[in-house]
A and B are shown apart, each in its own frame.
Chain A
Amino acid sequence: DQQVKQNSPSLSVQEGRISILNCDYTNSMFDYFLWYKKYPAEGPTFLISISSIKDKNEDGRFTVFLNKSAKHLSLHIVPSQPGDSAVYFCAASALRSGNTGKLIFGQGTTLQVKP
Chain B
Amino acid sequence: DSGVTQTPKHLITATGQRVTLRCSPRSGDLSVYWYQQSLDQGLQFLIQYYNGEERAKGNILERFSAQQFPDLHSELNLSSLELGDSALYFCASSEQGAGNTIYFGEGSWLTVV
| B partners with A | yes
Interface residues of A (CB under 8 A from B): 6, 32, 34, 36, 41-46, 49, 89, 91, 93, 95, 99-108
A44 in contact with B90 given A93-B98, A101-B48 (CB within 8 Å): yes
Contacting pair A102 B106 (CB below 8 A): no
CB within 8 Å: A-B pair count: 70
When distances are taken between beta carbons in the complex, the residues of chain A under 8 Å from B44 are: 105
Q: Chain B contact residues (Cβ within 8 angstroms of A): what range?
A: 20 to 34
Asked, given contacts A100-B50, A104-B45, whether A41 binds B98 with beta carbons under 8 Å apart, the answer is no
CB contact under 8 A between A43 and B98, given known A102-B58, A103-B45, A108-B42: no
> Which residues on the A side are within 8 Å of B35 (C-beta)?
105
Q: Give the chain A neighbours of B56 by CB distance below 8 A.
A: 100-102
Q: Which residues of B contact A46 (CB under 8 A)?
A: 101-103
Residues of A within 8 A of B45 (CB): 102-105
Q: At the interface, is chain A mostly helix, strand, loop or mixed?
A: loop
Chain B residues close to A by CB (< 8 Å):
2, 4, 31, 33, 35, 41-45, 48, 50, 55-56, 58, 90, 92, 94, 96-107
Choice from A43, A101, A104, A106 contacting B106 with Cβ under 8 Å: A43
Given A93-B98, A95-B99, 20 new contacts (CB under 8 A): A6-B42, A34-B101, A34-B102, A43-B4, A43-B107, A44-B90, A46-B101, A89-B43, A91-B43, A100-B31, A101-B48, A101-B56, A101-B96, A101-B98, A102-B33, A102-B45, A102-B56, A105-B42, A105-B44, A107-B41
- A sample of 11 cross-chain residue pairs with beta-carbon separation below 8 angstroms, ordered by A number, consists of A43-B107, A89-B42, A95-B99, A100-B31, A100-B48, A100-B55, A100-B56, A101-B100, A105-B42, A105-B45, A107-B41
On whether the beta carbons of A102 and B90 are closer than 8 Å, the reply is no
Across the interface, do A95 and B98 meet the contact criterion of CB distance under 8 Å? yes
- Which residues does chain A contribute within 8 Å of B100, judged by CB atoms? 101
Check if B42 sits within 8 Å of A106, measured CB to CB: yes
* B residues near A43, Cβ cutoff 8 Å: 2, 4, 90, 92, 104-107
Find the B residue at minimum CB distance from A42: B106
